[in-house]
C-alpha cells in the first residue's frame, strides 16, 4: 500500500468521525427536550390518603385512632355521621334501617342487635367494637369483615374516623372511657 492509499483511508476515517459528530449535534438540537415546569400527571398525595401508608410488605397500614381520639371532636363526628343516616339510626331505641340501630355500639359485641338480620359474614365474626376495631371497620368495611353487606366505601382520614368514633361513644347511657 503506498502512502497515497493510506491517506485516503485516514481521510475516510476522519470524515466518518466528523459526520458522526455533526449529526449527533444536529440530532441533539432537533429533539432538544424542554422540561415541563410542572408534572402533568401529578401524584395525588392529598389529605385523602395522607393517613394511609403502605408497609414494607405492601400491606396498607391504617393509622391508629386511639392517639387521635384525645383531640377528636364529637361535634364534627355528628356531622360526618350524616353519611350513615341513610342506613342507620343513632338514637336510643331507634329503628333498624338497611343497617342496625347504632345506640351504644362502642364497646359492644359485633352484631350487637338481636332484632337485626346480619349477614353470615357478620354473624361469624366474633369480637367487640373496640376503638381500633371500629376504626379499621370504618376505614374499609369490606376489608375488616369480608362479605359484610354494609355497602360503604369507608373513611380514609384518620381524624374523621376519630371524630366519628368520638361521637358514637357519646351514644350511650354510660359512655366508655377514652383510651
Q: Does 158 bind ligand HEC (CB under 6 A)?
A: no
The three three-digit cell numbers of residue 92, written as one number: 336510643
79 near ligand HEC (CB under 6 A): no
Give one word for 147, left, alpha or beta, with left for phi > 0 and alpha for psi -120 to 50. left
Segment lying near ligand HEC (by CB under 6 A), choices 5-13, 15-23, 33-41, 106-114: 106-114
Hey, what's the cell of 138?
A: 370504618
With binding defined as CB under 6 A, does residue 112 bind ligand HEC? yes
Out of 118, 131, 139, 144, name the contact with ligand HEC by CB under 6 A. Answer: 118
**Cell numbers describing residue 132:** 381500633
Residue-wise burial string across 77-107, b where 16 or more C-beta atoms lie within 10 A, e elsewhere: bbebbeebeeebbbeeeeeeeebbbbbbbbb
Tell me which of 24, 86, 127, 178 binds ligand HEC, using CB under 6 A.
Answer: 86
Tell me which residue has cell 387521635. Answer: 68
Site string for ligand HEC, 125-154 (x = CB under 6 A): ----x--------x---------xxxxx--
CB of 70 to ligand HEC, least distance (A): 20
**Residue 64: how many other CB atoms lie within 10 Å:** 16
- From candidates 66, 121, 175, 176, binder to ligand HEC by CB under 6 A: 121
- Considering the rule CB under 6 A, would residue 84 count as an interface residue with ligand HEC? yes
Of 156, 129, 146, which is closest to residue 44 (Cα–Cα)?
156
- Closest approach, Cβ 119 to ligand HEC, in A, equals 3
Q: Which is nearer to ligand HEC, 100 or 158 (CB)?
A: 100
Cα distances from 49 to residues 42, 142, 156, 172, in angstroms, run 14, 18, 6, 31
Instruction: Give yes or no for residue 98 binding ligand HEC (CB under 6 A).
Output: yes
Return residues touching ligand HEC (CB under 6 A): 83-84, 86-88, 98-100, 102, 105, 110-113, 118-119, 121-122, 129, 138, 148-152, 164
Amino acid at each position: 500500500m503506498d502512502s497515497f492509499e493510506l491517506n485516503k483511508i485516514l481521510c475516510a476515517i476522519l470524515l466518518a468521525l466528523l459526520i458522526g459528530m455533526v449529526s449527533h449535534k444536529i440530532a441533539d438540537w432537533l429533539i432538544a427536550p424542554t422540561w415541563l415546569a410542572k408534572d402533568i400527571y401529578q401524584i395525588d398525595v392529598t389529605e385523602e390518603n395522607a393517613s394511609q401508608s403502605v408497609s414494607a410488605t405492601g400491606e396498607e397500614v391504617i393509622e391508629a385512632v386511639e392517639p387521635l381520639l384525645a383531640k377528636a371532636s364529637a361535634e364534627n363526628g355528628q356531622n360526618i355521621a350524616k353519611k350513615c343516616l341513610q342506613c342507620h339510626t343513632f338514637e336510643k331505641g331507634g329503628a333498624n334501617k338497611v343497617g342496625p340501630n347504632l345506640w351504644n355500639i362502642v364497646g359492644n359485641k359485633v352484631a350487637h342487635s338481636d332484632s337485626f338480620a346480619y349477614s353470615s359474614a357478620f354473624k361469624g365474626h366474633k369480637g367487640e367494637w373496640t376503638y381500633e376495631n371500629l376504626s379499621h371497620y370504618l376505614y374499609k368495611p369490606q376489608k375488616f369483615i369480608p362479605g359484610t353487606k354494609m355497602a360503604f366505601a369507608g373513611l380514609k382520614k384518620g381524624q374523621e374516623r376519630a371524630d366519628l368514633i368520638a361521637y358514637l361513644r357519646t351514644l350511650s347511657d354510660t359512655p366508655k372511657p377514652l383510651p
